[in-house]
Amino acid sequence: MPTLQHVQVPTGTWQIDPSHSSVAFSVRHMMVSKVRGRFAAFSGTIVTADDELTSTTEVSIDLASIDTRDEKRDGHLLSPDFFDAANHPVITFRSTAVEPDGDGYRLTGDLTIKGVTRPVELAVEVGGVAQDPWGGTRVGFEASGTINRSDFGLEYNAALETGGVLIGDKITLALDVEAVLQQG
């Protein structure tokens, strides 16, 4: 069993449980506040290995599930101005490395948005492992990081009369993941 952040995590293949997980983001709006959003539909697999530094993660996010609590904004985000979801309906992440980082880990991987793939780093903390009431084993992870949206071709913006821009370039990512160990 690998020891991730001092938590004994069984080796095996884990499926992300979307009903107990979240994929969220925030971005600066008009230089004064942040707009927050989430994706409601996503899936993923985590494979924990005996050597936790060889563990892997793959995630797929359905862009059509974006929710910023404003239908008009969500529609604009799905348009060619931003994600161009008709031609690029998913965001994907594939890990390439896991390294110890203080009390947690740094997960490096390839993030693909709008057909552009760039390396990203996420800070990961292990929440714990528990047996569920149905005989399954669950593990929790929290991951966070930042990306520059322009690195992925998400360049739409507007200048403000008072200076600055409508939308910040830095996107903050926050993932809370609960995954179920697969039997067999």
* Token pair belonging to 69: 């609590």
For residue 124, the cross-strand partners are 105, 143
> For residue 1, what pLDDT is reported?
47
Q: pTM for the complete prediction?
A: 0.90
> For residue 183, what pLDDT is reported?
86
| Domain, as residue range, for 43 | 3-181
Is the distance from CB of 16 to CB of 141 less than 8 angstroms? no
Q: What is the CATH number of the domain that holds 171?
A: 2.40.128.110
Q: How far apart are the first and last CA of the chain?
A: 16
- The pLDDT tens digits for 156-171 are 666 657 766 566 778 8
Alpha-helix runs per DSSP H in the chain: 71-78
Give me the residues of the chain with pLDDT under 70, please.
Answer: 1-6, 29-32, 156-160, 163-167, 184
For residue 47, report the phi and psi dihedrals to the nearest 5 degrees.
-115, 115
Number of domains in the chain: 1
> For residue 99, what pLDDT is reported?
94
